[in-house]
Amino acid sequence: MKRMLVVLLLFPVLALAQASFDKFDGMDDVTSVIVNKKMFQMMGNVKNKESQQYLNLIKKLDNLKVFTTQSTRVAGEMKAAADKHIKTAGLEELMRVNDRGQNIRIMVKSGAGETIVKELLMFIEGSGKENESVLMSLTGEFDLNEISLLTERMNLPGGEQLEKAKGKKTK
Amino acid sequence: MEQDIDKILENYFEGETTLEEEKLLRTYFCSADVAEKHKDFIPLFRYQIAEREVKSARQVQVPSRRNYWWAAATCLAMAVGLTVVLNRPAEDLGTYDNPEEAFRETQKALNLLSTNVNKGVESVEYLKEYEETRKTIFKN
């Protein structure tokens, strides 16, 4: 009976644990973008030539949250919340990039396949003039390669160089 | 006997009688030979006896152990219900009501993520490249 009570009390806590970043939504210094499953489904109707690639990926997404801030204090809170979430949700660090003073960390929870991801968390710690920190959480069941492909075809510096590297490799 | 009753009655009205004495008073007033001077009190004691006979028509149920299980089950059901209700906001649309706007923002976010993932992949590719170059150099 006692054990049952403990389970009963924990149940709502566990169920609500997912909402660990929701406190940033509506904060004064934070710009937030939250897109849920329902909206992802509705996006299916947006017809656009170049969007097909995105739509294929979007179908596999459940939830997207992006919180952007220029406040150092909020950035600190984001970092703490991210660290806490990494522990509770059991995320693994995928990569850590230091690019022009921006510290980027990407954490994932892997799914069935090697490149399949169930949950992804990206934290960009801003510094310098812009000092813009970004906390991004993405859930669903998607392929990391699909994410990578999105910018490869566009003329972004990262994609271009990657193409080059791949080209050389196959020589 | 009469003096006794007088004394007990006096105590009774002072509220100092024992349960035994009160019982004695009741039997006395129920009996046929009540002294003339005590007749005035007959209704009082007879009334008391009549009231004792009254029983509640309602049956009072003592909660059984089984009811606790029902209560526990109800609590569980409510907890489950509440969590479902509280988690429903996940079904909300989010920051945007317009799919096109939401799509643009999602696209932006995914691009940012993609660029950064590629930055990481790029360095891995770079390392591989370095490794291969190194091998060829050392071979020759």
Q: Answer yes or no: are the C-beta atoms of A101 and A128 closer than 8 Å.
A: yes
* Distance between first and last Cα of chain B: 138
pLDDT at res. A44: 79
Q: Does the beta-carbon distance from A37 to B91 stay under 8 Å?
A: yes
Residues in A closer than 8 angstroms to B91, CB to CB, are: 36-38
DSSP H helices in B42-98: 42-53, 65-87
One-letter amino acid for residue A9 of the chain: L
Of the listed ranges A88-92, B19-23, B27-31, B72-76, the least confidently predicted one is B27-31
Closest Cα of chain B to A89: distance in Å?
A: 17
Q: State how far the alpha carbon of B3 is from the alpha carbons of A152, B8, B9, B13, B34, in Å.
A: 118, 9, 10, 16, 13
Cα dihedral value A157, A152, A125, A25, nearest 10: 130
pLDDT at res. A153: 47
pLDDT at res. A6: 62
d(CA B66, CA A51): 60
Rounded mean pLDDT of A88-94? 89
Q: Answer yes or no: are the C-beta atoms of A163 and B125 closer than 8 Å.
A: no
Model confidence pLDDT, tens digit, residues A146-167? 888 888 644 444 545 555 555 5
Compare B73 and A51 and report the one with higher pLDDT: B73
Residues 63-122 of B with CB under 8 A from A: 72, 75-76, 79-80, 82-83, 86-87, 90-96, 99-100, 102-103, 105-107, 109-122
Burial of A69 per CB tally in 10 Å (0-12, 13-18, 19+): buried
Compare A125 and A14 and report the one with higher pLDDT: A125
pLDDT at res. A139: 92
Q: Assign residue B116 a region (left: φ > 0; alpha: ψ between -120 and 50; beta: otherwise).
A: alpha
Q: Does the beta-carbon distance from A122 to B121 stay under 8 Å?
A: no
Chain center to CA of A100? 21
Q: Assign residue A26 a region (left: φ > 0; alpha: ψ between -120 and 50; beta: otherwise).
A: left
Residues in A closer than 8 angstroms to B128, CB to CB, are: 165, 169
Q: Does the beta-carbon distance from B120 to A35 stay under 8 Å?
A: no
Q: Does the beta-carbon distance from B103 to A158 stay under 8 Å?
A: no
Quickly count helices (H) and strands (E) in chain B. Answer: 5, 0
d(CA B11, CA B14): 5
pLDDT at res. A122: 93
Model confidence pLDDT, tens digit, residues A96-145? 888 777 889 999 998 888 889 999 999 998 877 778 899 999 999 999 88
Nearest to A74 by CA among A10, A16, A126, A33: A126
pLDDT at res. A171: 44
| Stated pTM of the model | 0.57
pLDDT at res. B122: 75
pLDDT at res. A168: 56
d(CA B134, CA B136): 6
At A144, list the tokens: 């990391």
